[in-house]
Chains A and B, each alone.
Chain A
Amino acid sequence: MHGKHKVIVQNNKLHYEFIIKRNITIVQGDSATGKTTLVDMIDVAVRQGESSGIDLICDVPCRVIAGNDWELILSNTKNHIIFIDEENSFINTQEFAEKVNGSDNYFVLITRESLYNLPYSVEEIYGIKSSGKYQNTELIYQQTYQIYPRQESLPIKPRKIITEDSKAGFTFFENICKEAGLSCESSYGKSNIFSVLKKETEDELCVIADGAAFGSEMDKVFKAIRNRKNIKLYLPESFEWIILKSGLIDGNAVKTILAEPEKYIDSTEHISWERFFEKLLVEQTDKTYLKYSKSKLNEAYLHEKNKSAILNSLAEGNLQISPTLPYLK
């Protein structure tokens, strides 16, 4: 499945409305916000159709999966948005992660647990809130909101950078940090960032990680740093996304894709968006002097003009590695 899909679920008391645009969406938050009610309404609407009295409106079919025979049901469910409530402990298993990988379904998972087996985006972790009455009716309007909205307490001017990447992305940041007199280190993977931060006492620190797959780490990292004003998180989709966004690659194709990636990213081919962006960058730079490989940074990306374009792209996201460098805005 690809694309974004609006889901409307309503009866005579409640109106839910939200958009799903990636293969994995997490819903969590306070108790009594209507998460289970949402899943129950979808389940009844799917099982009983119009006679349920519930309107379920979406351009693709939705369904709820629960219970011990989830694998069987999932194996026979294609091109659906699948909702799974928190009572189902299987969502935290490797078996479930393997089923999600390559699936043509989108998944909406109700859980407060971190699902380390699944690469989901920090942007697709939502809560549900009531937004008053719906369009002058007596319906309570239930909307989703991002648990981790884009922060604006910027610009970030760090003294030290920590990257989850240990290869191409790290080489790039290590190089520019060296020029700017900053220190840079790799955590060697997203799962180590929490433990690295626990030991860190450095002033003005910035962690750079792939937001497209950082969802499972976000709860503990966010809670660990929320009272440490000197630590900032910079979570672009991925390093490859930064390069694509920098304008280094000629033509409108990349620009068009980046404007609405969900139109082009098929869940059967890419379990998370950062893998799509890597593939896109590899394809777009093949047989050019910018030929990209994640395992080793092509030195062309460190040439002054190219480096400047990438740094400007970072600065647009409000990350200023060093404001003293002449090529920065």
Chain B
Amino acid sequence: MLSVYLGKMDEAIYHPPTYFDNRYKDEWITNPLSVSMIKDIDSSDVVGPYLIQSPVLGPISYKELSGGVKTLILLAFDDSGKIFNASACGDNCSKWILRIAEKKDLTINLRHIMDFGSNKFDIRIINTGETVQDMHRFVEIAGDYV
């Protein structure tokens, strides 16, 4: 299930892409989930752990992946117990955050109102203890904190 802490959170990793660059593991990139996320968000193909083919930048390394994808990969695979600021992700990443949270208990920090789409979901707001099922209620609560 997805839990969200809204607003400033001192213990959260503020800029996950930087953390990713320094804590990345080769096997994360070639995992089928990462391959799908990189294809969807960055429109790029994973050739191997050290090579990704971008339609814009050509052959790139993991360091040139978007901040959003780097954060998603951390949310999926990092087992350090760190909480990441998912405001490094655009709205195009939100469906992947929900998908990752289907497989495990995931806690993120949000400092903006991410759009989780028009479908129903379960998101626990840590600030209030309430679990919300749609964007209408999510915005009502989040607007007081971000």
Chain A contact residues, CB within 8 Å of chain B: 13-14, 28-34, 36-37, 86-87, 89, 112-114, 130, 140, 194-195, 198, 219-221, 223-224, 227
Contacts and interface: CB of A to CB of B under 8 A. Distances in A.
Interface string B9-49: 00000110110000000000000000000000111000000
6 contacts: A13-B58, A112-B111, A112-B112, A113-B87, A220-B113, A223-B113
Contact of A194 (B69, B93, B111, B143): B143
Interface string B116-127: 000000000000
A198 B142 CA distance: 12
Contacts, number: 78
B88 interface: yes
Given A86-B15, A89-B14, A198-B140, A32 B42 contact: yes
B112 A219 contact: yes
Interface of B: 14-15, 17-18, 41-43, 56-58, 66-69, 87-93, 111-113, 115, 135-136, 139-140, 142-144, 146
A227 B136 contact: yes
Given A14-B56, A86-B15, A87-B18, A31 B68 contact: yes
A27 to B, nearest CB: 12
Contact of B115 (A13, A114, A223, A224): A223
B112 A86 contact: no
A32 B140 contact: no
Contacts of A87: 14-15, 17-18
Contacts of A30: 68, 90-92
A31 B112 contact: no
A86 B67 contact: yes
A112 B87 contact: yes
A33 B90 CA distance: 10
Contacts of B135: 223
A28 B90 CA distance: 8
A14 B55 CA distance: 11
Contact of B146 (A33, A36, A220): A220
A219 B56 CA distance: 30
A114 B68 contact: no
Nearest to A217: B143
A116 to B, nearest CB: 10
Given A194-B143, A223-B139, A31 B56 contact: no
Nearest to A12: B58
B34 to A, nearest CB: 14
Nearest to B91: A30
A223 B136 CA distance: 8
Contacts of A227: 136
Contacts of A221: 143
Given A31-B92, A112-B90, A223-B143, 13 more contacts: A28-B90, A30-B68, A32-B68, A32-B90, A33-B90, A36-B67, A37-B57, A86-B67, A87-B14, A114-B146, A130-B56, A223-B135, A224-B140
B73 to A, nearest CB: 12
B10 to A, nearest CB: 10
B55 to A, nearest CB: 9
A209 to B, nearest CB: 15
A34 B42 CA distance: 10
Pairs of residues from A and B, 5 with the lowest C-beta to C-beta distance, nearest first? A31-B68, A30-B90, A32-B66, A220-B143, A31-B90
A13 B142 contact: no
Nearest to A228: B136
Contacts of B17: 36, 87
Contacts of A114: 112, 146
Interface centre among A34, A195, A223 (most CB of B within 10 A): A223
Nearest to B87: A112
A220 B6 CA distance: 13
A140 to B, nearest CB: 5
B123 to A, nearest CB: 15
A113 B111 contact: yes
Nearest to B42: A32
